[in-house]
Structure 1
Amino acid sequence: MRLGYGFIALILAIAPPAYALEAGALPVLAPNEQQAQAAHLSAQFLTRYAYKSVPLDDALSAKIMDRFIKSLDPDRNLFLQADIDGFMVDRTKLDDAIAREDLSIPFSIFNVYSQRVTERISHARDFLGQNFDFTVQESYSLPDENGTWPKTEAEINDLWRKRVKADWLRLKLAGQGNAAIRETLDKRYKNILARVHTYKSDDVFQSFMAAYTTSVDPHTDYFGAAASADFDISMKLSLVGIGAVLQDRDGYTTVRELVGGGPAQLSGKLAPGDRIVGVGQGEDGAIQDVVGTRLDAVVQLIRGAKDSVVRLDILPADAGEGGSHRVIRLVRDKVNLEKQAAQKTVLPVNDDGVTRKIGVIALPTFYEDFDARQKNDKDYKSASRDVARLLGELKQEKVDGVLIDLRDNGGGSLSEAIDLTGLFVGKGPVVQQRNAEGKIRIESDDLPKPVWDGPVGVLINRGSASASEIFAAAIQDYGRGVIIGEPSFGKGTVQTVVDLDRVAKSNEPKFGQLKFTVAQFFRVDGGTTQLRGVAPDISLPGLTDPKLLGEASYDNALPWAQIKPASYKMDTKVTALLPELQNRHAARAKQDPDFQRFMEDVAELKAQRAKRTVSLNEAERRKEQAALENRLKAGAQDNSDPLRRKDDGLQSDERGLMADIAMENARKNAKDVLKNAAASIVADQAELLAQSR
């Protein structure tokens, strides 16, 4: 089974029918036959085999339409109410359209969307020619997905005038002059327009299918060949290519980072900032110009078979647009994405003159190379195997305890979650599954004894989901360690992936893959992680908004449920220590200036979220800016923290590449207050367990 890996659609938003398109250079997108067939095939699976059976009827059609429109215009600043009224005529017709393999309705809506983006951004650029008055008392209302759509052109134009004014004021407060502001914003808006012209039929189809599948349940999804390949890469932590992290900057495919040990890094021919302006296949294949080409399309050209040759036309980082090019030759090879694998560090924790060493293992995802494992490759890549190796290294370093950092780990392989649990618990049940027929299966690990039997902590946050929750729940149920952090996501469902090409007996990739829910998880104690997630034993503050992130934020999430507990033995030694661990943490937090500053940041962020309007009066904004700066002066300023860094008003791709990378590295290297607090809790656990022996 594959679970807990959320597929994110490629495009940011979408939308038209023959609802009134104006003539223009925008491409009019239409569905193809295989997309309509894929939608129909997906519907057959979802109505017959999904865990929560939802018939494709008028009621579901209405939900799909609402979700599709919301995905296109979540801020309600593109469509007019008249557009929405036109779309609603077809609100209950999508079920019949899918059944007869006709996708003209969503594609028609998308084309209207593209036209509206063009119109709104064109107006935004027009506003740059005027002089804004920042002395008047005026405010900009932040987007509200539950608000109303503007009713008139005058209303929506005024909304965009305020948005442009807000962008301008933000840059002005950062110290930019009018000419620089006008240039920055005009470039920003032109880039949005350029992206509209790159949309393809596949983008519309992917977005429509996302609206359909998530209307069935939050974790059901559809993805085409490219998305499927990306999923496999994320699980294997490897790909065949040149080993370069690429980014779209001003229409150029730009090298952001070189992967250590990859062909690009070993060649010495590429450097961060270099721009790829052409790609050629083989020793003498014609070089295809890729300036202005979508990043995903360029990536597909660069990837290829192992040991094959790709030639890249490079415009060096320090060359102007008319600078000298050079063509380099690289041989594609397997590239291991080690930065996304489990990593360890050792944190010294000092308390009353005693230093304890806590080994921290950060695990970004529960990865597993399924294919290599099935082929009995003894060196196949997996999360549990890597963690077992790191635990062995930490034993050699004589650490006093281990902290498993699962923050923002959205899940992955179920078998890896089970195997990872066995490293700390040994042989025994880990998780229970109930399928659509109500049959319950207990999943167990058969490791004779744990690899690590010392003190354990598990650090989670709202982004810890699915497989992360299975592991954390098992550690908690067995009393094996302390769960620290925020309540987890609450995803307690099992998904499987079906290759629709195999189902249709197609010899070529045409129909994509369908990921859908087939079962529900239950802890060994009988409760489910669904909806409620895993509650930490010791809570730490977090920066996420629980209303926007987590299973409870979905309107069609499955409810919490309970079944009979599995047969397992709980160790109560750690559970008995929880009150003392909590008291020690609370006392330490009060005396820790870093922790207190973090609490201030959390409070400030909550206050910002509560504000639904932004003042467009310069004097008021400068007062707010001065108040924030005074607060920062009260403590050591951490420039890596977005709340403690002066706002430059720029988006990430508007800064210089090196400046952007430096800022990212500063964030990565900043003091991790929550990790340090969790390590101290594990150190307390080690001390108290030693005293009780």
Structure 2
Amino acid sequence: MFININSTQFLMSFKSLFYITAIYTSSFLSLKASAQNYPSPEQSNTSKMQTLYKGLAGVIRQYHYAPPLFNDGLSAKIYSNYLIKLDPNKAVFLQSDIDHLNKYQYTLDDELRGEKMPLQFYDEIQRIYFDRLKELSVLPIFSRKNWRPGNEDEIIFPADSLKWCFSRSQRTDRWNRLLSYEYFVKEADLEKGYSDKSLLKEKIVKALRNKYEHWLKSKLQPVDSFASFADYVNVITFILDPHSEYQPPVNKTKYDQQMSNLFYGVGITLGKTDQGDIKVLSVMTGAAASKSKKINPGDLVISFAEGEQGVWEDVDGLEIPELIDKIRGKGGSIVKLKVKDSKTGLINDVSLVREKVNVQESGARSGIIKTAAGKKIGMLYLPEFYNDYAHWDGAKSANDVARELKLLQNEKIDALIVDLRYNGGGSLDDVVKICGYFVKYGPIVQVKDQKGELRILTDDDGTTLYDGPMAVLVNGYSASASEIFAAAMQDYRRAVIVGTDTYGKGTVQHQLPLGTINQDGEPSFGALKLTMEKFYRINGSTTQKNGVHPDLCLPDLTSYAHFKEKDQFSVLPADTIDAVSYHLNTYTPVKIADTEFLKYPDFSGRFTRMDSISRFLSSKRPQVIGLKQAETESKIKQEQMNRYLELEKVEAGQLETKGLGQYAGTDWYQVWLKKSIENIWVQRTIQYLLTQQ
């Protein structure tokens, strides 16, 4: 999931890679360097990597918001983290390999400083890793010999408590334990979809074999020699913070595509379960998957096929970007997905037509919710702060929100709800403009760089598009630009913030293109996405790590989840700076609600039960090998998830809806408006807004 803010466009000299001088303005940064720091086409891949590595180290040291000391402490972190990156379950390397590699534990800082030849550790660990991977090919799961699960009733210990194996036989036993656990979990997940149990068992063994054969082949026969180098560099960037990242050229293209929000696909977001299965995280309203009515969040993706007559291919072994590439394609073409229904356990074949996914169906939209007393509540939904920087006439969320607010104003609404749940952020320019639609003038957010220099982004036009009562819905997936908006509205007392603590991302990443532009229009060595600034609220606190705490707390599935910024290994700390001068809202008085969690009698204790389920689903329990244990765990999780979804959906009662805008008559729009009116958060927020008038 991308949750970065591309606040400023960075341009680099295409004749050179790194810096001698830095020229900073409000719109661009130009980094110039001598050509000797730029990898030449004649260099070997190893030489190119070494040159690039030295240059990246220099850029990090000079421009990262909190550059690390290049010392033995950093070296030890790089060393241990890369070992775990390559071998998280300690099922490839042997203890003897670790003993040999330990000589590099405190020398990697010397490579970064240029005192030793770069990538010596990287080259040697890659060689050992390659040799150990070849040894694994004789295991039954790889050699296509008969393999059956065993080790039932044994506990799988967390990876961080495992020791390195001393022998090949000990390593083989570890593989059998890991595979057995995965086998039984998959059997429990899929058993309702297969009446023939022997066929199911064959299917699972085949799926595991495909998954790990694909994994082994991708390691032994890499398509892109820079991919493993990128993994190594990103171990270093992740030590800096969770969002800095080296992006090879192909990923740079996807990043640009993410910001513009234009591609041909089916409208689903994918993620992985704890066992590595690919599941649907969200379904974009109005896109092909949504219109099929056969794909829902939580469903597992089993296989895919290209075209109506295409041969089914299992997804086991594919990484999410690989599967996304398979699902996306030419507009109007067909892709088929085989998915396991998360509610029934049944497996469905779904034929989908690839469509241009754009802001018409995934952008800002609004509607009216009318109460029995005749009050009109405006509902404004914004899934992200999109901005198609690549096209002068491309979609911009600020323009679209302004359009929707004018439609709502024409309806003479009595209050407004802005829904930013699951909004991961986007364009800083747009969020500042949108804040100005609700605040007549004043500062919106403070931005500080590593030198301590402060910029205050303001709205100075002296006008607003909406002055009435207002609430903002947020949850644990509301991040970055969403948090800037929620924080500004809270600090001005312009709106009541409703929901759960937000994600907690208060840093700014800038995209630094690396190398000359190639024939595809891409920088030849990709880009470095680097954290260079930090956000602060106008009251001087920061959304970094802490997020935005709501005024009115309501539980959801993100309330206790462990994926937020504060849970990350390398989270940058929260701190404070001086507040700036600003005037509290004088348009519409908003009474800040009690932040204590309450049992609202109007909803029959639903929120209390939702809170309890959220706690349970976020708790970590021991993993035990065996079908009985897997069935029990799967059944309990599924029952609890289904119960939560039942509690979250409430009857519309006397509430009525009215569509607005050119898409009001479309099916996808009507689905969105119906879901909004039947959502318990929305109804509780309406109840709150009406009591404040």
Normalising by structure 2, we get a TM-score of 0.70
Change in Cα spacing, 1:145 to 1:231, as seen in structure 2 (3 Å) is same
CA–CA separation in structure 2 for the residues paired with 1:557 and 1:116 = 33
TM-superposition CA deviations, 1:137-158 (whole Å, max 9, x none): x233253335433444344333
49, 60, 64: which one aligns with 2:74: 60
Partner of 2:615: 603
Partner of 1:614: 624
Relative to structure 2, which stretch is displaced further, 194-203 or 108-117?
A: 108-117
CA–CA separation in structure 1 for the residues paired with 2:680 and 2:335 = 47
CA–CA separation in structure 2 for the residues paired with 1:559 and 1:211 = 19
Change in Cα spacing, 1:502 to 1:421, as seen in structure 2 (3 Å) is farther
TM-superposition CA deviations, 1:295-335 (whole Å, max 9, x none): 9799999999xxxxx999999999xxxxxxxxxxxxx9987
Change in Cα spacing, 1:90 to 1:575, as seen in structure 2 (3 Å) is farther
Contact 1:222 1:514 in 2 (8 A): yes
DSSP 3-state at the match of 2:466 = coil
Partner of 2:388: 369
479, 484, 490: which one aligns with 1:476: 490
Change in Cα spacing, 1:247 to 1:456, as seen in structure 2 (3 Å) is closer
Change in Cα spacing, 1:258 to 1:564, as seen in structure 2 (3 Å) is closer
Partner of 1:342: 364
Partner of 1:4: 4
1:456 is aligned to 2:470: yes
Contact 2:517 2:523 in 1 (8 A): no
DSSP 3-state at the match of 1:441 = strand
User: Which runs of no fewer than 5 residues in structure 2 stay unpaired?
Assistant: 7-43, 271-282, 292-302, 309-316, 339-353, 650-667
Query: Structure 1 residue 207: deviation in Å?
Result: 0.9
Query: Structure 1 residue 401: deviation in Å?
Result: 2.7
CA–CA separation in structure 1 for the residues paired with 2:184 and 2:144 = 13
Change in Cα spacing, 1:686 to 1:553, as seen in structure 2 (3 Å) is closer
DSSP 3-state at the match of 2:524 = coil
Change in Cα spacing, 1:65 to 1:491, as seen in structure 2 (3 Å) is same
Identity %: 27
Partner of 1:149: 164
TM-superposition CA deviations, 1:443-492 (whole Å, max 9, x none): 10133222122222222222222222111110100001111222122222
Partner of 1:92: 106
Contact 2:104 2:121 in 1 (8 A): yes
How many residue pairs align between the two structures?
577
1:218 is aligned to 2:218: no
Contact 1:482 1:574 in 2 (8 A): no
1:275 is aligned to 2:306: yes
CA–CA separation in structure 2 for the residues paired with 1:538 and 1:258 = 27
194, 200, 206: which one aligns with 1:180: 200
5 Å matches for 1:143-542? 143-145=158-160, 147-173=162-188, 174=191, 177-198=197-218, 199=222, 200-238=224-262, 275=306, 336=358, 338-347=360-369, 353-354=372-373, 356-372=375-391, 377=392, 379-501=393-515, 509-542=523-556
Query: Structure 1 residue 517: deviation in Å?
Result: 2.4
Contact 2:287 2:361 in 1 (8 A): no
TM-superposition CA deviations, 1:239-286 (whole Å, max 9, x none): 5xx6677999xxxxxxxx999999xx9xxxxxx965279xxxxxxxxx
Query: Structure 1 residue 92: deviation in Å?
Result: 2.7
TM-superposition CA deviations, 1:335-384 (whole Å, max 9, x none): 73544423445455x6xx54654433332322212243xxxx4x332111
Change in Cα spacing, 1:210 to 1:611, as seen in structure 2 (3 Å) is same
Partner of 1:560: 574
DSSP 3-state at the match of 2:66 = coil
CA–CA separation in structure 1 for the residues paired with 2:284 and 2:231 = 31
CA–CA separation in structure 2 for the residues paired with 1:512 and 1:430 = 33
CA–CA separation in structure 2 for the residues paired with 1:558 and 1:79 = 32
CA–CA separation in structure 1 for the residues paired with 2:79 and 2:129 = 14
DSSP 3-state at the match of 2:438 = helix
Contact 2:54 2:118 in 1 (8 A): no
CA RMSD between the two structures: 4.8
AA paired with 1:464? S
CA–CA separation in structure 1 for the residues paired with 2:250 and 2:148 = 46
Query: Structure 1 residue 89: deviation in Å?
Result: 2.4
Query: Structure 1 residue 525: deviation in Å?
Result: 0.9
Change in Cα spacing, 1:314 to 1:478, as seen in structure 2 (3 Å) is closer
116, 140, 155: which one aligns with 2:155: 140
CA–CA separation in structure 1 for the residues paired with 2:487 and 2:407 = 26
User: Which runs of no fewer than 5 residues in structure 1 stay unpaired?
Assistant: 7-29, 249-256, 266-271, 278-291, 305-309, 319-331, 642-664
AA paired with 1:586? K
Query: Structure 1 residue 419: deviation in Å?
Result: 1.0
CA–CA separation in structure 2 for the residues paired with 1:260 and 1:547 = 28
CA–CA separation in structure 2 for the residues paired with 1:229 and 1:494 = 20
TM-superposition CA deviations, 1:581-616 (whole Å, max 9, x none): 979x732465154x455334313314xx33123252
Change in Cα spacing, 1:342 to 1:194, as seen in structure 2 (3 Å) is same
Change in Cα spacing, 1:245 to 1:454, as seen in structure 2 (3 Å) is closer
Partner of 2:592: 578
TM-superposition CA deviations, 1:38-71 (whole Å, max 9, x none): 2221111111222223243433222222222222
Query: Structure 1 residue 293: deviation in Å?
Result: 11
Contact 2:506 2:542 in 1 (8 A): yes
CA–CA separation in structure 1 for the residues paired with 2:647 and 2:595 = 32
Change in Cα spacing, 1:293 to 1:179, as seen in structure 2 (3 Å) is closer
Partner of 1:658: none
CA–CA separation in structure 2 for the residues paired with 1:301 and 1:626 = 31
AA paired with 2:174? L
